[in-house]
Structure 1
Amino acid sequence: EYVFLITKELRLDPLAGYHAIELLQRFMVKQLADLLTASTPPGAAADHPKSQEDAIYDNLKERLPLIVFSCVQLASKMSIHSRMIDSDTAVRFLRSVGHSVSKQALLESELMVLKGLEFRLNVPNPLTYTEILLEVLGHNEPSVPVERLHHLCHHVLQFVTLERTAVYDSLLKATVQCVSPSREQREKFMTVTEDCMLLGVTVIAVAVFILHVRRWQQVKRLTVFDAAVKSSLLLH
């Protein structure tokens, strides 16, 4: 939600926002994995693992706003359709939301994220797949109102992104037909949660259903939706 608010406030291209979310997720996963496997941080007792975890989470919590902004800033630099966030704009914005930081701190945070991601910034995001699929859909079936679908898709994708945990948790439980999926089932399901193509296709399908229920069967034939859903069901 914070990423979407920054993107809107700074009038960035929506693609930059979704790119930033992907960067943030990848960075946080790696950062947590590295910190949890590292030596006990100062102030945490070696014989109390819970204290160590609490210290790690507290440390990340303090830095999270700046980390999130750094991901947005990096994403803006990667986007050809979005203006780049310069250091002056970044400092002013962060101060306006109650975070007083220096340009040096911003630079260090950005560098930390870059190193954490091993400078791999060209990552897929669901909006890119959604827009490409819409172009293909419009080319294959000119009667489909692509512009109206594009507008709806933005709302659907934003909702799914904000409610990601609940949406995928419900899908997993429905897939395995169990209210308490095992760890193995959750690990296998990761391929579904990380599939941007599947999410893009599903978002378009939902948008079409909202726009015009009668077009539902038509879009199913023109996309790989059936195959994608069937592949996810194989996890059971």
Structure 2
Amino acid sequence: MVSFGYKKKKQYMQRLFGGSVFMETPKRSSQQFFTSPPEPLFNDKHVGMKPALLEETLQQLAKENELNMLNMDDECKGVFKNGKRAVFMFLLCKHYKLGYEDQFVAIELFSRFMSKHVAELLQHVKETKNTENAIEWSHVEQRIKHQIMLRTVTCAQVASKVCSHYRIISLGSAKRFLASHGFRYAANSIVQSEVRILKTLNYKVHPPMPLTYVEALLEIVGHNNPSLTVKHFHGICLNVLELYYIQRDAIYARLKQIAGVTSGQKHRGNTIEKDNMLTGSAIIGAAAYILDKSSSDQIIDHLSKITEIVNDDILDFSAVLIEQVLANDEE
């Protein structure tokens, strides 16, 4: 049902980008250059990306997406990045006034770390099962649960360092937050938690995630159709993306139902969940419908041409997201 092919031929990309060229970039003052913009810049005439760079970006994201879909090491899939876990992470990041990117990086880091961490501990328990040093899984599980708050705060702390120029969660601030919730950790314990997370993730702290694909595709769509106010789409996309994480289980259950994925087709279901290109396209499609339903079909068709994903697959995913938005409004 879902197409995972991406055309990379030069003539195809030239057709997509229309062969237009940017005007020479005007000179900017040092203050303009070094000051971070208050919001993302899309198709800005001063810093806009040229077609060749957009082409290279799309090809690289397509390659990373294919590798991500083939990676079946994540045994726990999205167990640690949906529902109450996502809500708490988002609220934690908002408490610290972190940027929108920080919260999505934080929840992805938390999910990847916890998945690998639990898998490693489970394997260790299995290896000691028939030895004198046998470990009861129930004891390990209790320890994991007790450390959830510490791991959550630490992942937000790492994300703040990765994404923010100056607004990061300091060691002291993390310690005070944990203490206020009844978790009294020494500063060294918080540092060790950060080291554990970094080592477990092999220091890969900027994971592939839907936000990256949303923003790249918006840049391309805005370049191809300058009449679109891409920044308006971006704001709505962020809201839809938050809902996507919170309602992730319900969304994929509905998608698998639509696609006819049965319980015996676990691999196929996992692949759909890992397709960030499809997810990013669907989020833009849902945002387009919310902003102006009369033009949403045209935008989804354009996204289909850019990504080589079947039009109906983006449409189905977008429709499921809209269903969740409407259901959330009713509540």
Fold shared per TM-score above 0.5: yes
The residue aligned with 1:103 is: 187
Aligned residue type for 1:19: V
The residue number in structure 2 matching 1:78 is 162
For the structure 1 residues 221 and 76, does the alpha-carbon distance in structure 2 shift closer, same or farther, using more than 3 Å as the test? same
Q: Which runs of 5+ in 1 are unaligned?
A: none
Report matched runs for 1:108-119 at 5 Å.
Answer: 108-119=192-203
Equivalent position to 2:239, from 155, 158, 161: 155
Specify which of 29, 53, 57 is matched with residue 115 of structure 2.
29
Greater mean alpha carbon deviation, residues 100-109 or residues 79-88: 79-88
Q: Which runs of 5+ in 2 are unaligned?
A: 1-86, 315-331
Q: TM-score, normalised by structure 1?
A: 0.85
Matched, 1:94 2:178: yes
Would the alpha carbon gap of residues 150 and 81 (structure 1) be closer, same or farther in structure 2, given more than 3 Å must change? farther
Of residues 254, 268, 291 in structure 2, which corresponds to 1:211? 291
- Quote the Cα distance in structure 2 between the aligned partners of 1:19 and 1:154: 13
After TM superposition, the structure 1 stretch with the greater mean CA deviation from structure 2, 194-203 or 81-90, is 81-90
**SS at the partner of 1:83?**
coil
Q: Say which structure is richer in helix.
A: 1
Mapped to 2, the partners of 1:191 and 1:206 lie a distance apart of 21
Q: Call closer, same or farther: CA 1:189–1:68 in 2, change over 3 Å.
A: same
Q: Quote the offset at 1:128 in angstroms.
A: 2.1
SS, match of residue 39 in structure 1: helix
- How much does 1:212 deviate? 1.0
Give aligned pairs, total: 224
Amino acid aligned to 2:273: T
CA contact (8 A) 2:301 2:311 kept: no
Query: Deviation of residue 220 (structure 1)?
Result: 1.8
Q: Aligned pair in 2 of structure 1 residues 39, 175: CA closer, same or farther (>3 Å)? A: same
Give the equivalent residue in structure 1 for 2:309. 228
Instruction: Pick one of 123, 126, 130 that aligns with 2:210.
Output: 126
Partner letter of residue 228 of structure 1?
I
Q: 1:230 deviation in Å? A: 6.8
Residues 159-170 of structure 1 correspond to what in structure 2 (within 5 A)?
Answer: 159-170=243-254
Q: Distance in 2 between matches of 1:18 and 1:189?
A: 23
Distance change in 2, residues 1:109/1:149 (3 Å): same
Report the residue type matching 1:26 in the other structure: R
Residue 224 of structure 1 aligns to which amino acid in structure 2?
Answer: S
Q: Does 1:139 align with 2:223?
A: yes
The alignment partner of 1:150 has SS state of helix
| CA spacing shift, 1:143–1:135, aligned 2, 3 Å | same
Match of 1:6 among 92, 117, 142: 92
